[in-house]
Structure 1
Amino acid sequence: MVSTAERSRAAPGGAAPAPILNVSGLGRRFGAFVAVKGVDIRVEEGSIHALIGPNGAGKTTVFSMLSGFLKPTEGRIEYRGTDITGAGPTQVARRGMIRSFQISATFAHLSVHENVRVALQRKAGLAYQFWSPESRLDRLDARVAELLAEVGLAAERDTLAVNLSYGRKRMLEIATTLAVDPDLLLLDEPMAGMAHEDVERVVELIRRISDGRTILMVEHNLSVVRNLCDRITVLQRGEVIAEGSYAQVSANPQVREAYIGTEA
């Protein structure tokens, strides 16, 4: 099977595409503690790129800086060639880079359909029209149906989010993220806490939604990383110790000692 990254690289002329996200020398200190130091990450457009490492390696700190929730103390973040270092989460999201979180963020007592429709309101210019009749939102229903079909939740359209399984809630969260039409999707441990059957469903979902999009994900499940991701960056103690394909990083003795060996 040809990966999304390989399809992206097969551009006319054979020139390597410019990265959608280019991170150089990224660092973050908390007082005297250095959480992240000198991190370089290059994410190719159309790829599925994983950020892995043992607990405490700095993965979530890196994600928080990329998405604007935490300001770097050093380094540079470029998105589509524009310096966005230090931009806030709203500015980052408006540029097309959207983050999901480890904890599912849905409105528990709204239906699946209503959750996605809420997410669509900003893009449709209806986000703050609190006193408008609900019927004005009906024009969003066709797009809601498309998104629910895309993530495999069409049959749960009228189910309250609180009644979904954990795996289905993560699918709903992905649907609400897709509602804002991101170019780059940051997925923070999308498989965390899932049963095996839910992991398989979400892997297939990520594979489907990667068509025409770029995905950067933090993930602990190495089987998922091996089967899904085009490129992998490995962190240890806040620094990059390896980057490449799964075969390349898994053969690295430093990686095996820091991460894969402990998993085995």
Structure 2
Amino acid sequence: MQHTEQQSPAEAGSPAPEYALEARGISKSFGGFFAVKDVDLKIRRGSVHALIGPNGAGKTTCFNMLTKALQPTSGQILLEGRDISRLPTSEVAQQGLVRSFQISATFPHLTCLENVRVALQSKYGRSFHFWRSLRAVAELNERAMALLGEVGLSDSAGLAASDLSYGKKRALEIATTLALDPSVMLLDEPTAGMGHEDVEPITELIAKVGKDRTIVIIEHNLSVVSSLSERITVLKQGEVLTEGTYAEVSSNPDVISAYMGGVDEL
């Protein structure tokens, strides 16, 4: 049977959907234990949406399901109005949903330029052409340098990733994520392990790249959440506790109780 590629609403001439990414009643069980249960998410196009909650709330499991690293036990996931519930991770990334990880996923012994170029090779279908002459990928250098400039790493293009500060390593990871030209970026703890001096530049960088994209973040630093996010979904024990603006969720008694730290932590 001939396969017919499904068109997006925009390709079919329909208006773009209001939500860039949706989860409808997604659940994940391991044996009889539900790590995530009946979670609904509606991520507005062009917004920064935070997913927060105490440890064990199910945030990372949700991310894994949204990017298809884990197959949901039940529920539906829509990207740009298309059902991606059964697609593998590689196809989801090709359709514009890309995730960065809490632990830096760059190649430590490659230069910054080379790291971004590898990501660009993947985007343009050249990821397995490492044995070819560098001349064959030289055309990607201009785009790679532009991406490094976008994240403030132009002067570090020739440095090995292992020689970067922690904050610059995260900036490099964002550059490699941008190389895949995502419409939706999922950032897992982008400021985890950072000193105070690195948090502000990375927060500003996320705000900058988020102007043209939809971003979903998991983040424990609530000052970062408050400065970046337009909407916040709070999870507790695998279920949605509440959703709203930072002002709304930070004053919610159930949220305060879930964090067990009182108002000062929010």
Measure, in 1, the Cα distance between the counterparts of 2:141 and 2:246: 41
Which structure carries more helix by proportion?
1
Structure-1 residue corresponding to 2:196: 196
> In the alignment, does 2:242 pair up with 1:242?
yes
- Correspondence 1:81 to 2:111: no
**Counterpart of 1:45 in structure 2: which amino acid?**
R
Q: Are 2:56 and 1:56 aligned?
A: yes
User: Which residue identity is paired with 1:165?
Assistant: S
Aligned equivalents of 1:89 and 1:230: distance in 2? 27
Counterpart in the other structure of 1:70: 70
Deviations 1:209-260 (A, max 9, x none): 0121000000000000011111000000000011010001111110111027
Q: Is the 8 A contact 1:107 1:115 kept in 2?
A: yes
Instruction: Report the 3-state secondary structure (helix = DSSP H, G, I; strand = E; otherwise coil) of the residue aligned with 2:212.
Output: coil
1:169 aligns with 2:181: no
Residue identity in the other structure for 1:199: V
Q: Summarize deviations over 1:5-32 as a string: whole Å, max 9, x none.
A: xxxxxxxxxx996101111111010001
**Residue in 1 that maps onto 2:256:** 256
1:117 maps to what in 2?
Answer: 117
Structure 1 residue 81: deviation in Å? 0.9
Give the structure 1 partner of residue 212 of structure 2.
212
1:104-143 to structure 2, matched below 5 A, reads: 104-143=104-143
Deviates more, 1:205-214 or 1:17-26: 17-26
Residues 1:40 and 2:40 aligned together: yes
**Structure 1 runs not aligned, ≥5 long:** 1-14
The letter of the residue matching 1:111 is T
User: What residue identity is the alignment partner of 2:158?
Assistant: D
Taking the aligned partners of 1:61 and 1:125, their CA distance within structure 2 comes to: 29
Structure 2 distance, partners of 1:104, 1:23, is 26
- Contact 1:17 1:44 (8 Å CA) reproduced: no
1:162 maps to a residue whose letter is S
Q: CA RMSD for the aligned pairs?
A: 1.5
1:144 aligns with 144
* Counterparts of 1:124 and 1:93, CA distance in 2: 13
How many residues in Structure 1 have an aligned counterpart in Structure 2? 250
Secondary structure of 2:39's aligned partner? strand
1:5 alignment counterpart: none
Farther off after superposition, 229-238 or 75-84: 75-84
Counterpart-to-counterpart distance in 1, 2:189 and 2:124: 29
Letter in 1 for 2:36: V
Q: Deviations over 1:71-104 (max 9, x none)?
A: 1111111111111113211011011000011110
Distance 1:93 1:229 in 2: 23
> How far 1:124 sits from its partner (Å)?
2.7
The runs of at least 4 consecutive aligned structure 1 residues that moved more than 4 Å come to none
Counterparts of 1:131 and 1:37 in 2: how far apart (Å)?
A: 46
Distance 2:259 2:46 in 1: 27
Deviations 1:10-68 (CA, angstroms, capped at 9, x unpaired): xxxxx996101111111010001111111011000000000000000000000000001
8 A Cα contact 1:250 1:260, kept in partner: no
Aligned to 1:97: 97
Which stretch shows the higher mean deviation, 254-263 or 53-62? 254-263
Amino acid at match of 1:102: Q
Q: Distance in 1 between matches of 2:99 and 2:131?
A: 29
- For 1:104, what is the secondary structure of its paired residue? coil
